[in-house]
Structure 1
Amino acid sequence: MMNRLRLISWATGTLMLAAVSACGGGDTDPPATAEPSSTPSSSAATSASPSSPSDEASAGATDAVRSYFTVVDQLRSDPAPDLKKLKSVATSAQLNAVTTLIDRSRDEGQRQTGTTAINELQVQSVNLDNSDPKAGKVPTVVIDVCWDVSKVDVLDKNGKSIVSPDRPDTGWTRYTVANYKYAADPIGGWRVATGQDLKQTPCAAS
């Protein structure tokens, strides 16, 4: 079955990619979370000393999202690094989608300059159910991110910018971050599994 992906085009220069649903891949996708299932965090900051499994999950997933943005920026800026590096920050539908997107842009000779900023990051829910990893029932953390690409440009193979003057510089994406290795690595096993753009007022550009 073909992956059903909603991608924001490279031609806009916006870096976010939303994998709505997908079939195939190494892991079964965790259930999509349309609404938070627990009390959301009111702050983008994560406690320096997590005091519960839920706090530890929030901290690990937050670090994973930040690492995801860093790795994607690196791979879109430099055509040399192996795309297998994405496996360190993404899994399931998101891994398939972002690999396809970057591979296609490399084939077309496109590259990014500048880096994406995370202006706001809000943990919306934490679910530590690890009852059936093979069926996608793994711990998940849902995180809303307001990203900022105001300092990012995208160049074609001739070095000319392909960013639309009407590009929105900020926007919100809701990520589901999953840990398929929770039993062995409850802190470092988090990977971005899916993403879906949100229709809400964007945060201010940095």
Structure 2
Amino acid sequence: MKIRLGLISWATGTLMLAAVSACGGSDPDPPATAEPSSTSPSPSATNSSPSTPSDAATAGATDAVRSYFTVVDQLRSDSAADLRKLKSVATSAQLNAVTTLINRSRDEGQRQTGTTAINELKVQSVNLDNSDPKAGKVPTVVIDVCWDVSKVDVLDKRGKSIVSPDRPDTGWTRYTVANYKYAADPTGGWRVATGQDLKQTPCAAS
């Protein structure tokens, strides 16, 4: 199955969250990130102690998204860093695609400087259906992220920037964060599974 994923692309040097097609990884893909299908948690859910399973899922998935950006930045900045660390923050199609992109950039001698900022993060829905993990029916949280790469550059093997001067510094991507280990680890088992770039007004750069 082909999944469109929101990924920070090095290949073109644009450093925007470009949608790419990639096959899934070892875990079956969760439902596509089309429309939120369950009640969204309150905006304050991630700012206080979780009081319901939905709040706990929101907190765990939000932490997973932030960790995902941190780990991807680290791996793009240090060519010696172990790519297996991606398994701690990504799964399914997202893991396969981001691993492929980072390997490609390393082969071409590209290196990132600076870090990606998350300017806005909005939880759209929570679905705690864990009825059939083997078929991809696992708990998911859909999160919209406005990312900011205004402080990020990408250098080629000669140390020259390959980022286009017309690069958009901010944009929105909708991520599906899934927990394939929900029964055993409802808090820490969240991983970014898929993503879809959104066509909407970017947030302000930081």
Q: Does 1:139 align with 2:136?
A: no
Does the residue aligned with 2:137 lie in a helix, a strand or coil?
A: coil
Q: Does 1:204 align with 2:204?
A: yes
2:46 corresponds in structure 1 to 46
- Gaps in structure 1 of 5+ consecutive residues: none
Residues 181 and 8 of structure 1: CA distance in aligned 2, closer, same or farther (over 3 Å): closer
RMSD: 1.9
Residues 120 and 91 of structure 1: CA distance in aligned 2, closer, same or farther (over 3 Å): same
Residues 121 and 59 of structure 1: CA distance in aligned 2, closer, same or farther (over 3 Å): same
Contact 1:174–1:198 (8 Å) recurs in 2: yes
Q: Does 1:81 align with 2:81?
A: yes
> Which amino acid letter does the alignment assign opposite residue 130 of structure 1?
N
2:125 corresponds in structure 1 to 125
* Cα-to-partner distance string for 1:14-73 (whole Å, 9 max, x where unaligned): 2535455634x2100001131111333563871320100000000000000000000000
Q: Does 1:31 align with 2:31?
A: yes
Contact 2:83–2:99 (8 Å) recurs in 1: yes
Identity fraction in percent: 83
Q: How does 1:165-184 map to 2 (within 5 A)?
A: 165-184=165-184
* Cα-to-partner distance string for 1:128-181 (whole Å, 9 max, x where unaligned): 000000000000000000000000000000000000000000000000000000
> Which amino acid letter does the alignment assign opposite residue 68 of structure 2?
Y
Contact 2:79–2:106 (8 Å) recurs in 1: yes
Q: What stretches of structure 1 move > 6 A for 4+ residues in a row? A: none
Q: Give the Cα–Cα distance (whole angstroms) in 2 for the partners of residues 56 and 189 of structure 1.
A: 12
> Which amino acid letter does the alignment assign opposite residue 16 of structure 1?
L
Q: Give the Cα–Cα distance (whole angstroms) in 1 for the partners of residues 43 and 21 of structure 2.
A: 26
TM-score between both structures, scaled by the size of structure 2: 0.93
- Gaps in structure 2 of 5+ consecutive residues: none
> Which amino acid letter does the alignment assign opposite residue 166 of structure 1?
D
Q: Could you tell which deviates more after superposition, 76-85 or 9-18?
A: 9-18
Q: Give the Cα–Cα distance (whole angstroms) in 2 for the partners of residues 165 and 42 of structure 1.
A: 39
1:97 corresponds in structure 2 to 97
TM-score between both structures, scaled by the size of structure 1: 0.93
